[in-house]
Amino acid sequence: MKGRFAALVLTIAALSLAAPGAQGTYAPPKTPWGEPDLQGIWTGETLTPLERPAKFANKPVLTPEEAEAIEKDVASRPGRDDRSQRGTERDVAQAYNQHWLAPPTRLADRRTSLIVDPPDGRVPPLTPEAQKRLGTIREYLEALLQGTSGGRPGSISPRRREPPPSYNIARMNRSDGPEDRQNTERCFGATMPNLGATYRVAQSRGVVGIYHDSGQGQGFVRTIPVDGSAHLPSKIRLLHGDSRGRWEGNTLVVDTANFTQKMEFRGSRQNLHIVERLTRVSETRIMYRVTVEDPTTWTRPWTFEVPWERTPDRLNQAFESTCHEGNYGLLGMLANTRAAERLFREGKGPNPELQDNATGGDSDGDIGR
């Protein structure tokens, strides 16, 4: 027990040293009406993953040399834009995707996970209820792959016309209508909590507004009352939840509930409850700390922390979201499927129901992977 306590003390000390300004006596500027001023454009981009990789178990903070080696390795990988040398050709000659999804270049205070509680830096286990719920969804999506590379050759799943067990937000091997397509293809893929984005904060008396410039056209605006008002009735559900704020000293505390089935954060949907804490710890940094809970999904609440770094206040640094996938691409996906079905009926092409249009896609990031 003494050894574990000593390790905990060392961990806390390392985190304190790694987070400049977090433990100082900084007094944030005030708005004309006396509240801490959080306004500006901030970025939460970081190479640090949400969960701690197994290779860094029991190592919450890297040495400066270890962090530098990882950052250099990631920046040097083929196909990755390197913007570390400002003003060079490599800085400005970006590929299309990297223009919208600018790669982070630094670890967050040399940490190996954004999660600070539990101490192992991992998301708590799923409850049996959540495992069953997610297993049912997975089984349904996999059944639609029968007849493709994921199932029996030449067969068509009898479940192909069944509705999904819950509102679909995943990549499905079917394109009968918009609801069969992934939520990012329908331009509402950004979740709450929203990580790795650019945030523009604006304040007025009794209200804080945060615009999330997230991903490629997935941005959204949050208008947060800071006037002591209660949450909306539980029967009123919002995609990014109903947020209510209050000030605790220099920290803005935002309580968000009333989510819908149409948004999912790591398996949690309408029962998600999050509490965000935004504390300005220096002229150029906000510490963003979030506690997440859903007793129907995880065995315990958990907390992560991300430093938001200030960016220049020039105009057009936070862009209006324009999701061309939803405006144009989605129509093309559905029209292409109808055309393939028509050609198959005429004996001029393969059966589109036996094609795999679902597998592949993104995977979670990892340090040094």
pLDDT tens-digit map of 64-118: 999 999 988 887 776 555 555 666 765 665 555 555 555 577 899 999 999 999 9
Q: What is the pLDDT of residue 74?
A: 83
Q: Which two tokens stand for residue 1?
A: 């027990």
Distances in Å between the Cα of 133 and the Cα atoms of 166, 188, 364 are: 9, 22, 21
Which parts of the chain register pLDDT below 70? 1-24, 78-87, 89-103, 147-155, 157, 315-316, 325-327, 360-369
Express each pLDDT in 297-308 by its tens digit: 999 999 999 999
Distances in Å between the Cα of 233 and the Cα atoms of 68, 86, 102, 228, 238 are: 49, 50, 39, 15, 11
Q: What is the pLDDT of residue 152?
A: 56
Q: What is the pLDDT of residue 14?
A: 43
Q: What is the pLDDT of residue 90?
A: 59
Q: What is the pLDDT of residue 274?
A: 98
Q: Which residues fall within 8 angstroms of residue 326, CB to CB, at 6 or more apart? A: 185, 186, 187, 217
Q: What is the pLDDT of residue 326?
A: 66
Amino acid code (one letter) for 40: G
Find, among 314, 304, 299, 251, the residue nearest to 44 by Cα: 304
**Model's pTM, two decimal places?**
0.84
